[in-house]
Chain A
Amino acid sequence: MITLRQVSRWYPGSTTDRSRVLDQLELDLKKGEFLYVIGGTGAGKTTLLRMLATEELPSSGTLSLFGYDLSAVSPSTLRTIRRSISTIPQRVQLLSDLTVFENISMAARAAGSRASGRDSRDRIFELLEKLGLSAKRDRPASELSGGEAQRVAIAQALARKPELILADEPTGAQDPDSAWGILDLLLRENLSGTTVMIATHDREMVRRVRKKTAFLKNGRMQLHVEEGPCRF
């Protein structure tokens, strides 16, 4: 599903090896897998997720999603790929004019959801219930706290029924109970066949829910393949 071959990323004016954000990454992630990407601040986690979300292209190397080399896809194929991916960004930006429900339903519709209006609505209501946002359903997104906005972004991601979820610090703005609820939701999606990649600082989460883990440091990636405890 995701293949990275010698993928590097640097920004204009920073072409030396030392200033590369990502350096010669190699990764194979199959459908239905769950991967943590951990690393310190500036390690390149967000850049990696932005590339996988098709927001950026690698400066060198090959990045393939769903078997398509992203450097050579047509706009229509890119749209199809994007419809299969849900991103939970670190900095959530909801559409402030819309209600919580409208923000989620718009994300689902943009993904070309073929579900009927009622099915789609029921799915959104169910997600809002699980994320503790039922009471905020018809409130404008501008009235939400940071943690609530992040949970709406998670509902947006899940309502789209994607094949790949890319979550950048999805529990960063949550209290412990909410954080575990969110992780539980993501694990359930993974069990139903969705590939999940989570970039996180939260080592406690990684220790308690053992999954495949990639460690990013100075733009380089070390993969801890076994699903078990790992030492950082």
Chain B
Amino acid sequence: MPILKLSLRAWRASPGSQVGASLISSALLLCVALLLCLELSIQSARGRVERENRVTVFLAPGGGPDSEMQVTDRIVQSLGAHAETPVHSKFVSIADTMAFLREKHPELHAELRDLGQEGEALVPRAVHLTASFDEGRLGEAVSQVKKIQGVDSVDSTESRAAAVGPAIRGLQWLLRLLTLGVVAAWILGWMALARSHAASLSGIAGPLRLWGAGPWTARAPGILAGLWVGLPAGAIAAVAYAFLARPALQKLATSSALFEASAIPGVSGVLVLVMTSAVAGIASGALSGSAEA
């Protein structure tokens, strides 16, 4: 009980600065958490952009709906054998293409319609496929698809990420630098608080050591004093994350296709914030104790 009382000396002497330290620490911690979440989201998006490819397979004219289905199945199976991720496919029929042309290019649509059967033979039927491929495997997959009976031609987007990849990498490095800066500011804040606590608790560790107390008993008031700032800071950061930051990240994930696969931590994120802040408080307390000793 006396140790607990001693550990609250800083709160009694200057409650405003302790509250301020908790708020600033929680804000910095929340910033770090947000930046890390964004960085992880971008990492996953970059992976997708760099490895995901779109393959468009144009079917040869002729053949009914049954034939279209069979050819599409064979294409999906052939690509699936080479792909790292499940293959997503979308069949675009003549009717779909005509509907698109009617909306976007009504004159062309009218000309094709006027040609009758001959015009339908000119309208392409295609299967759009999306999947991730290891380096070099896409070319192999495309050449296999070309051999399937009923396939007219194949287009792929092998170099799709060539322009976007470096831009995303640049953004990632910028985020990492920002994270490092905020972490450095957060650590420096804790070091300053450790010094302030050491000054506030001066004259406690010395007598305790001379009375024969162990090193951790002598540091206990400082460690608890750090914890009394770290715990509220972690709790504030956790609440802010749960009610502000997490919904914002979820909105970002739903509104942008790029971030749709982002993993946004829930309860685990809240716990990590509280624990990190508490550990920082304890570490700063141990530091303030050793400074005095």
Can you give 15 contacting A-B residue pairs, CB < 8 Å?
A79-B214, A80-B212, A81-B212, A82-B209, A93-B203, A93-B207, A95-B2, A102-B1, A103-B2, A106-B2, A107-B211, A110-B211, A110-B212, A110-B213, A160-B211
Name B214's closest neighbour in chain A (CB-CB): A79
Partner of B208, one of A84, A97, A110: A110
Contact across chains for A102 and B203 when beta carbons are under 8 A apart: no
**Residues of chain B at the chain A interface (Cβ within 8 Å):** 1-3, 5-6, 8-9, 12, 203-204, 207-215, 217
* Chain A residues whose C-beta falls within 8 Å of the C-beta of B211 in the assembled complex: 82-83, 107, 110-111, 160
Q: Is A105 located at the chain interface by the 8 A CB criterion?
A: yes
Name B204's closest neighbour in chain A (CB-CB): A95
Name B215's closest neighbour in chain A (CB-CB): A75
Partner of B212, one of A97, A98, A102, A112: A112
Partner of A54, one of B12, B210, B214: B210
Q: Is A175 located at the chain interface by the 8 A CB criterion?
A: no
Give Cα A224 to B214, complex, Å: 38
Are A95 and B210 CB-contacts (below 8 A) given A102-B5, A106-B2, A110-B217? no
Q: Is A165 located at the chain interface by the 8 A CB criterion?
A: no
Are A97 and B6 CB-contacts (below 8 A) given A102-B1, A110-B217? yes
Contact across chains for A97 and B214 when beta carbons are under 8 A apart: no
Give Cα A98 to B4, complex, Å: 10
Partner of B9, one of A84, A97, A112, A160: A97
Contact with B along A84-111 (1 / 0, CB 8 A): 1001000001010110001101110011
* Chain B residues whose C-beta falls within 8 Å of the C-beta of A103 in the assembled complex: 2
B257 → A minimal CB distance (Å): 59
B116 → A minimal CB distance (Å): 98
Interface size class of A (residues with CB under 8 A): 20 to 34
* Chain B residues whose C-beta falls within 8 Å of the C-beta of A160 in the assembled complex: 211
Chain B's interface: helix, strand, loop or mixed, by majority? helix
Contact across chains for A97 and B210 when beta carbons are under 8 A apart: no
Name A54's closest neighbour in chain B (CB-CB): B210
* Chain B residues whose C-beta falls within 8 Å of the C-beta of A107 in the assembled complex: 207, 211
* Chain B residues whose C-beta falls within 8 Å of the C-beta of A80 in the assembled complex: 212
Give Cα A53 to B212, complex, Å: 11
* Chain B residues whose C-beta falls within 8 Å of the C-beta of A119 in the assembled complex: none
- Tell which of A54, A97, A111 has the most Cβ of chain B within 10 Å: A97
Give Cα A86 to B276, complex, Å: 41
Name A160's closest neighbour in chain B (CB-CB): B211
Contact across chains for A53 and B9 when beta carbons are under 8 A apart: no
Name B12's closest neighbour in chain A (CB-CB): A97
- Tell which of B203, B207, B208 has the most Cβ of chain A within 10 Å: B207
Give Cα A22 to B1, complex, Å: 41
B36 → A minimal CB distance (Å): 39
Give Cα A205 to B204, complex, Å: 33
B110 → A minimal CB distance (Å): 91
Contact across chains for A105 and B210 when beta carbons are under 8 A apart: no
> Which 10 residue pairs spanning A and B have beta carbons closest together?
A83-B212, A110-B211, A82-B212, A110-B213, A102-B2, A106-B2, A79-B212, A98-B2, A110-B208, A111-B212
* Chain A residues whose C-beta falls within 8 Å of the C-beta of B217 in the assembled complex: 110
Give Cα A75 to B212, complex, Å: 10
Give Cα A80 to B211, complex, Å: 9
Give Cα A87 to B5, complex, Å: 24
Give Cα A106 to B6, complex, Å: 11
B198 → A minimal CB distance (Å): 16
Contact across chains for A95 and B6 when beta carbons are under 8 A apart: yes
Partner of B210, one of A53, A75, A98: A53
Name B3's closest neighbour in chain A (CB-CB): A106
Give Cα A112 to B215, complex, Å: 13
B270 → A minimal CB distance (Å): 34
Are A87 and B212 CB-contacts (below 8 A) given A97-B6, A106-B2? no
Q: Is A55 located at the chain interface by the 8 A CB criterion?
A: yes
A185 → B minimal CB distance (Å): 19
Contact across chains for A98 and B214 when beta carbons are under 8 A apart: no
Name A79's closest neighbour in chain B (CB-CB): B212
Give Cα A103 to B204, complex, Å: 11
B215 → A minimal CB distance (Å): 8
